Amino acid sequence: MAKVLVVGSGAREHALAKAFLKSPQVDQVLVAPGNDGMQDAGLSRLPIKANDLQGLAQAAEEQGVDLTFVGNEDPLILGIVDEFEARGLKIFGPRAQQAQLEGSKTFAKEVLTANQIPTARAITVTSLVAAERALEKFDLPVVFKLDGLALGKGVTIIQDLDSAQRYLADLYQRDPEAKLVMEEFLSGVEFSIFSLVGKDGRVVHAPMAQDHKRRFDHDRGPNTGGMGAYSPLSWLPEKDAQQAISQLVEPLLAAMADRGLPFTGVLYTGVMLTDAGPKVIEFNVRFGDPEAQVVLPQLNSDFYQVIVDLLAGEQPQVDWQKGQVYLGVVLASPGYPEAPQPGAVVPSPADLPGLAVDYASVKAEDGHLVASGGRVATVIAHEADTLLAQEKVYQVLDQANLDLVYRHDIGHWAQDLAE
Ligand code: AMP
Ligand code: GLY
């Protein structure tokens, strides 16, 4: 029987651990560092931080781990895959250089434009003078993105010239050489493609998903890490989905291989479906959170075997469920994202009958779980359509009478876009 290590501590990593535990070949899943809500049979935790690459590699050696899967981007960008591979340990993910697709917006943009892959027109600047000059080349609204990792907080949509000038003055006063990507604003419908990419060009595309990034109902309020997601996307015609794969994902993978940087791992393509066709908004090099929580449970095949096959350069047999919509709602601490106030009691799976629960920032205290950060859990239902899935989740949540906050309209796009 196989032992799998999942790196990370959120609800996405909980979903990954559960997907591996479903494999008949896996009897143990270790999660490093995990969280107190991860109490599933067969799951144990390692008290090692996700960024402690040496510590993780050493533990994988000592514990005889057969396969490591990384949930969050930081260890990938720091080179966890390089570290594991150097020690002959099996790990699924991109090396540090390939992870620059997420780690550096400038690198991603450069690969996209060099290969004529559709994306927003962009100019990268590193001084106030250059920024002011570049600003003249864009219509409003315009999008400003700070280079480097910013967990979605580095993106600002600028509506008017005054705000643009204030933003630039502030930024370059703080850091006179700040690297800023200035980008054309794309309007359209946003969705995400998750591609599991193996050696020798083997690829498995998962069902597509839509996240809800704004904090409040009707997509109002600040951007967050994601307040909920659903999948698959009933409103997205198969030909549009295929077009996004063939025009965005496949050319990117080919371009990386041509550069001598073949990509392995999860490629997350953030797509804007515009009037002029699909365009890339961003790449990430790992599953989305909360998207993983609604995508992974749809896999009927053995997840462990899928990953092992991909790493061996073999095309896996993959069967995804059809006919059900998976819908996940994120429960957060009041005040999230600006100033989350921890301490609320977090429901156990028994408190939420009929829903799956993937835990994130929680701590065990006096025999129950309490919130210890912003995003606390994702609760998931699956039903024959989005309306039924919404009804199910929200009925259970309303009855649970929680001190946590959540959006009440996750999945609304499925109805809006079907009309
Ligand atoms: P990112 O961190 O690049 O994923 O951006 C966060 C969010 O900002 C995206 O999910 C989009 O909703 C929005 N966004 C980013 N770039 C653009 C763009 N060029 N046009 C319109 N919206 C954008
Ligand atoms: N849900 C968005 C992300 O994981 O980046």
Which ligand places an atom closest to the C-alpha of 227? Answer: 2
Which ligand places an atom closest to the C-alpha of 271? Answer: 1
Q: What is the pLDDT of residue 151?
A: 45
Q: How far is residue 283's CA from residue 273's CA, in Å, rounded to a whole number?
A: 15
Q: What is the pLDDT of residue 160?
A: 95
Q: What is the pLDDT of residue 147?
A: 79
Q: What is the pLDDT of residue 415?
A: 84
- Other beta carbons less than 10 A from residue 78's beta carbon: 17
Q: With a threshold of 0.75, does the pTM exceed it?
A: yes
Q: What is the pLDDT of residue 418?
A: 82
Q: Name which residue sits closest to atom 4 of ligand 2, judged by CA.
A: 288
Whether 224 lines ligand 2, by a CB cut-off of 6 Å, is no
Q: Give the position, in ligand 1's atom list, of the atom nearest the Cα of 184.
A: 19
Q: Ligand 1 center to residue 396 CA distance, Å?
A: 32
Those residues of the chain that have pLDDT short of 50 are 151-152
Half-sphere exposure (Cβ direction) of 200: Cα atoms closer than 13 Å: 8
